[in-house]
């Protein structure tokens, strides 16, 4: 059985936390896109962990974790992340971690390119893309230019190293144009020798592995990084990631394009948050923003950047649910709204005096104004609630209203960051 867990909003919905919870029923957890720009915070009985490249299933002893072919892997970062988790008592071996031979390697010069371009944009336009500066956009661009190294090549270094001089010469044309020091071939050899070697035993044909696992009746979960609105096609371009974050891409990015997803669970936040630049129609400013940001602890897990916040956005969330083909929703961080006597929901956008309810094309988003409606809050601590009956009436009303407005069932409600802090609604 194949299940996908994906983000409905702008990311940071609590996907890592929900994968950590739901993975108890799964044999395999697989990341299928993105790189170490992800930041999933997971808190469980083993401690607090921040995961950038590793699937959140790595925190369970009996789950096999896969880094799929749709990913871009910074091998230095991966080695450091593995070491950091091992220090925290997590077991990581080729038995429970498998890396696709077809996954692309993020290079140090991709990280440099990302920084050079964000800085150029800042100077030239004052409007950088809000990149995490970890080389993700440049390495995906190189992938489509077919000028990358893939993980499987690390198993055959002689052949791999022969390709270095030409790729480096080509990349240096760009680096020099930005006025930076060119990269040397030896630095690249050194990168592969230092970090690639440590990862050799983990590299396999993960598509074959996943097909076998599926045949044996194993339960496989696909874990997305980032939300629907950061998808390279469907998101708020160019303020998106550079990969497909949507569930329909999961079988491809995992390496099993022949298999179909049985269930898509969308992770949706009870309010809105958005890290970095780009249109964010429902945004709160001033004191209103500070209050919600502090209550939700909205600071980036990967970068520490303060996240922009706002109330729940029906227009964007309905679009996100459609993009993800979500069968059911896990609503997260409902407890953050405990502080309000009265809650706002963004139910529509206003564009040039017209009310719109469908998410518009990106270029007009900047001119859209939010339409807020008020509902009663519960204004009490719900973090100890474990059953629907435990929740106050106003909280249940809020959940049911979101279900109605978004046209999707809410199955799970999370009321705290800890593994057990959740309610199953039906
Ligand atoms: P992800 O990138 O989608 O995995 O989400 P992040 O980890 O970046 O952001 C979610 C943050 O909210 C993390 O710090 C979690 O520990 C925390 N969190 C997740 N679910 C809940 C919840 O239900 N309530 C509260 N208060 N915090 C939560
Ligand atoms: Mg995150």
d(CA 56, CA 40): 8
- Report the pLDDT value the prediction gives residue 40, as an integer from 0 to 100: 85
Query: Would you call 252 exposed, middle or buried from its count of C-beta atoms within 10 A (0-12, 13-18, 19+)?
Result: middle
d(CA 331, CA 413): 5
Ligand 1 binding site (Cβ under 6 Å of any ligand atom): 7, 11-17, 39-41, 43, 297, 301, 332-333, 335-336, 414-417
Ligand nearest to the CA of 18: 1
> Of 12, 101, 327, 335, which residue is the catalytic one?
12
Identify whether 350 is preceded by a cis peptide bond (ω within 30 of 0).
no
Please give the model's pTM, rounded to 2 decimal places: 0.92
Q: Tokens representing 163? A: 């390709």
| Alpha carbon of 40 to ligand 2 centroid (Å) | 5
Q: Report the DSSP beta bridge partners of residue 369.
A: 350
Domains delineated in the chain = 2-99+213-265 (3.40.440.10), 104-199 (1.10.300.10), 268-424 (3.90.170.10)
Ligand nearest to the CA of 299: 1
Three-state DSSP class for residue 313:
strand
CB atoms within 10 A of CB 177: 9
∠ CA 201-15-38, rounded to 5°: 55
H/E stretch holding 413 reads: strand 410-414
- Number of helices (H) and strands (E) in the chain: give both, helices first: 14, 20
d(CA 65, CA 125): 42
| Alpha carbon of 55 to ligand 2 centroid (Å) | 13
Residue where the block lists tokens 């961080």: 333
Active site residue 74: no
| Alpha carbon of 321 to ligand 1 centroid (Å) | 19
| Alpha carbon of 18 to ligand 1 centroid (Å) | 9
Active site residue 185: no
> Of 40, 231, 327, 335, which residue is the catalytic one?
40
CB atoms within 10 A of CB 120: 13
Ligand nearest to the CA of 41: 1
Q: Each residue's pLDDT tens digit in the chain (426 positions)?
A: 999 999 999 999 999 899 889 988 999 999 999 999 988 888 988 899 999 999 999 999 999 999 999 999 999 999 999 999 999 999 999 999 999 999 999 999 999 999 999 999 999 999 888 888 999 999 999 999 999 999 999 999 999 999 999 999 999 999 999 999 999 999 999 999 999 999 999 999 999 999 999 999 999 999 999 999 999 999 999 999 999 999 999 999 999 999 999 999 999 999 999 988 899 999 999 999 999 999 999 998 767 889 999 999 999 999 999 999 999 999 999 999 999 999 999 999 999 999 999 999 999 999 999 999 999 999 999 999 999 999 999 999 999 999 999 999 999 999 999 999 999 999
């Amino acid at each position: 059985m194949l299940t996908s867990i994906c983000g409905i909003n702008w990311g940071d919905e609590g996907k890592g936390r929900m994968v950590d919870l739901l993975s108890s029923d799964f044999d395999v957890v697989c990341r299928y896109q993105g790189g170490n720009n992800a930041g999933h915070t997971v808190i469980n009985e083993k401690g607090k962990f921040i995961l950038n490249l590793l699937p959140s299933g790595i925190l369970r002893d009996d789950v096999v974790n896969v880094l799929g072919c749709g990913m871009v892997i910074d091998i230095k970062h991966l080695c450091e992340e593995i070491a950091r988790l091992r220090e925290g008592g997590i077991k990581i071996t080729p038995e429970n971690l498998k890396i696709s031979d077809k996954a692309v390697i993020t290079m140090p010069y991709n990280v440099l390119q990302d920084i050079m371009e964000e800085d150029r944009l800042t100077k030239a336009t004052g409007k950088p893309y809000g990149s995490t500066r970890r080389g993700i956009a440049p390495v995906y661009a190189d992938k489509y230019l077919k000028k990358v190294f893939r993980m499987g090549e690390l198993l055959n270094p002689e052949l791999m190293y022969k390709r270095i001089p030409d790729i480096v010469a080509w990349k240096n044309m760009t680096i020099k144009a930005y006025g930076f020091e060119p990269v040397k071939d030896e630095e690249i050899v050194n990168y592969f020798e230092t970090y690639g070697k440590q990862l050799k035993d983990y590299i396999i044909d993960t598509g074959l592995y996943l097909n076998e696992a599926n045949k044996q009746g194993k339960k496989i979960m696909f874990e997305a990084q980032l939300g629907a609105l950061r998808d390279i096609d469907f998101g708020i371009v160019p303020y998106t990631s550079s990969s497909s974050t949507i569930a329909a891409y999961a079988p491809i990015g995992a390496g099993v394009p022949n298999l179909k997803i049985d269930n898509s669970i969308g992770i949706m936040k009870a309010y809105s948050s958005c890290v970095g630049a780009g249109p964010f129609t429902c945004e709160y400013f001033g004191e209103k923003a500070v209050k919600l940001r502090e209550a939700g602890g909205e600071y980036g897990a990967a970068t520490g950047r303060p996240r922009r916040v706002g109330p729940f956005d029906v227009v964007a969330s309905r679009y996100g649910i459609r993009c993800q083909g979500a069968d059911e929703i896990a609503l997260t961080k409902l407890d953050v709204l405990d502080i309000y006597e009265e809650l706002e929901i963004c139910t529509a956008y206003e564009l040039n005096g017209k009310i719109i309810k469908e998410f518009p094309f990106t270029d007009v988003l900047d001119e859209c104004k939010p339409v807020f409606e008020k509902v009663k809050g519960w204004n009490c601590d719900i973090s100890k609630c474990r059953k629907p009956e435990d929740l106050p009436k106003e909280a249940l009303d809020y959940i049911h209203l979101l279900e109605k407005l978004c046209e999707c069932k809410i199955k799970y409600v999370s009321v705290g960051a800890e593994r057990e802090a959740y309610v199953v609604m039906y």
